[in-house]
Structure 1
């Protein structure tokens, strides 16, 4: 049986952590910042852990 290929789009967006979780960038960070508070903008910087409801689907994409 052939090897499973990694989905390259997912590999560029998500990183696996040592304990098996996934981290990714936050949504809502590309435009329209005038409608967001300073606190929202500050907390959207950097990466965050992916929600457990999505983990199974995205782990399969990463192979």
Structure 2
């Protein structure tokens, strides 16, 4: 039986939390900030939690994390 492997693309983008959820970086943060409000820019900082509906899918992609 072949080895189980983590999906490398997902491993670089998502981190598992202690409670079993996932956190990831926000989209829309690479350029063109002049078109965004200060509130939008502030809220795009840091990481955001993955929606619960996607957690099952990401657990399959990252079995060891």
Structure 1-normalised TM-score? 0.89
Structure 1 unaligned residues grouped into runs of 5+: none
Q: Which structure carries more helix by proportion?
A: 1
Counterpart-to-counterpart distance in 2, 1:35 and 1:24: 23
> Which segments of 5 or more consecutive residues in structure 2 lack a partner in the other structure?
none
Q: CA RMSD in A?
A: 1.0
Which stretches of structure 1, 4 residues or more, deviate above 3 A after TM superposition? none
Residues paired across the two proteins, number: 63
What TM-score, normalized by structure 2, do the two folds share?
0.87
